[in-house]
């Protein structure tokens, strides 16, 4: 059975509070964190991008089990902040990590679900035994227009998952997707920053697709929310995943362990995957995990996983857990963020 044999996360150490961003733009800052459900967000350094974040996450994944990355036969990199419009991130990451040149390398874009789409695509290659080990990455330096509502939550992080059929920490029991042409979020090729439909992004977009994919998978597997110990949903803010979980019948306790948005914000393609890693950091063997990502444009990928006894050994060796990186932080002033924006986009 296809499963996760190792995983790693990288969260930049810099943090900033949404209220400070609002204050910098002369907007109402009181209760900003409470209204968004986000206390602070992770900010990449000036010398970091989606590629460097992905490299760090993968090195963390490989180091725990001393995995030889030369054995990887396929890599997907899901992101909506690839550094180049024309030049693959996947080959650059593969080159830095020393992966074999006999390699399937693919860049994926589907807003915030590009990372989970990679897991689905690679699962087929691995389960069919065409490729023994695959690497699925979700990495983003989330884009947002200065002073736009997205700036309060858009953050940076990466999550990397090595997939295989032997010595798995968690097996992927099943998955499904739900997609439609719902233009809630977009950026044309010549534009520097994305646009969005405001309140339109909630009900007809996020909730329709997350609940659609989740309900379909629960029906397909004949499982109920009570059968799961943990659940993870894409976290664009602190409210949407809680509401989606409630509508589907999941409890606040089930989503607690993977609920990282309040501490790091929304790192787009890495959001649900960092949440999954946080769950795997503390889960026990033989526990079922439900996960559903969401990507604007729009679509959702839902997964059913079950942990194995090997997870305990991995947890003991893992020195770069999600919570350890969340707590390793340095608060910064918005002036530093503004300088980075000006330097990157020349505005």
Backbone angles phi, psi at 45, to 5 degrees: -75, 170
Catalytic one among 80, 134, 209, 306? 80
The answer to whether 234 is a known catalytic residue is: yes
The dihedral sign for the CA sequence 179, 195, 240, 258: positive
Question: Is 134 a residue of the active site?
Answer: no
Asked about 80 being catalytic, the answer comes back as yes
**Token pair recorded at residue 176:** 């499904």
Q: Which of 40, 56, 82, 112 is catalytic?
A: 112
> Which 3-state string (H, E, C) describes 252-306?
HHHHHCCCCHHHHCECHHHHHHHHHHHHHHHCCCCCEEEEECCECCCEEEEEEEE
**DSSP states of 203-253 as a string?**
IIIIIHHHHHHHHHHHHHHT--GGG-SEEEE--SSSSHHHHHHHHHT--HH
Structure tokens at 342: 């000006």
From the candidates 196, 209, 230, 234, give the one annotated as an active-site residue: 234
What is the rounded CA–CA span in Å between residue 4 and residue 303?
13
Which residues participate in catalysis according to the annotation? 80, 112, 234
């Amino acid at each position: 059975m296809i499963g996760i044999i190792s995983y790693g996360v990288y969260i930049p150490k810099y943090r900033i509070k949404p209220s400070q961003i609002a204050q910098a733009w002369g907007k109402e800052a009181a209760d900003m964190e409470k209204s968004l459900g986000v206390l602070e967000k992770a900010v990449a350094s000036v010398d970091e991008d989606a590629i460097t974040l992905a490299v760090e996450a993968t090195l963390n994944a490989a180091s725990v089990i001393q995995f030889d990355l030369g054995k990887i036969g396929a890599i997907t990199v899901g992101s909506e902040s690839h550094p180049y419009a024309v030049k693959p991130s996947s080959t650059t990451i593969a080159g830095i990590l020393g992966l074999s040149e006999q390699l399937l390398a693919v860049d994926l874009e589907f807003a915030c679900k590009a990372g989970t789409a990679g897991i689905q695509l690679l699962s087929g290659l691995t389960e069919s035994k065409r490729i023994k080990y695959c690497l699925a990455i979700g990495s983003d330096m989330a884009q947002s227009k200065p002073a736009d509502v997205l700036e309060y939550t858009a953050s940076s992080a990466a999550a990397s998952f090595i997939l295989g059929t032997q010595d798995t920490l968690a097996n992927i029991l099943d998955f499904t997707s739900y997609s439609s042409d719902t233009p809630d979020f977009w950026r044309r090729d010549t534009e520097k920053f994305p646009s969005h439909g405001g309140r339109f992004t909630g009900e007809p977009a996020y909730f329709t697709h997350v609940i659609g994919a989740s309900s379909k998978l629960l029906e397909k597997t004949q499982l109920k929310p009570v059968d799961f110990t943990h659940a993870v949903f894409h976290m664009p803010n602190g409210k949407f995943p809680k509401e989606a979980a409630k509508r589907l019948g999941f409890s606040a306790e089930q989503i607690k362990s993977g609920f990282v948005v309040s501490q790091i914000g929304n790192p787009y393609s890495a959001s649900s995957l960092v949440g999954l890693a946080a769950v795997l950091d503390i889960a026990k063997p033989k526990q079922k995990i439900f996960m559903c990502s969401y990507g604007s444009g729009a679509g959702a990928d839902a997964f059913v996983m079950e942990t194995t006894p090997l997870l305990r050994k991995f947890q003991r060796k893992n020195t770069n857990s999600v919570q350890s990186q969340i707590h390793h932080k340095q608060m910064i002033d918005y002036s530093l963020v503004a300088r980075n924006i000006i330097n990157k986009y020349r505005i």
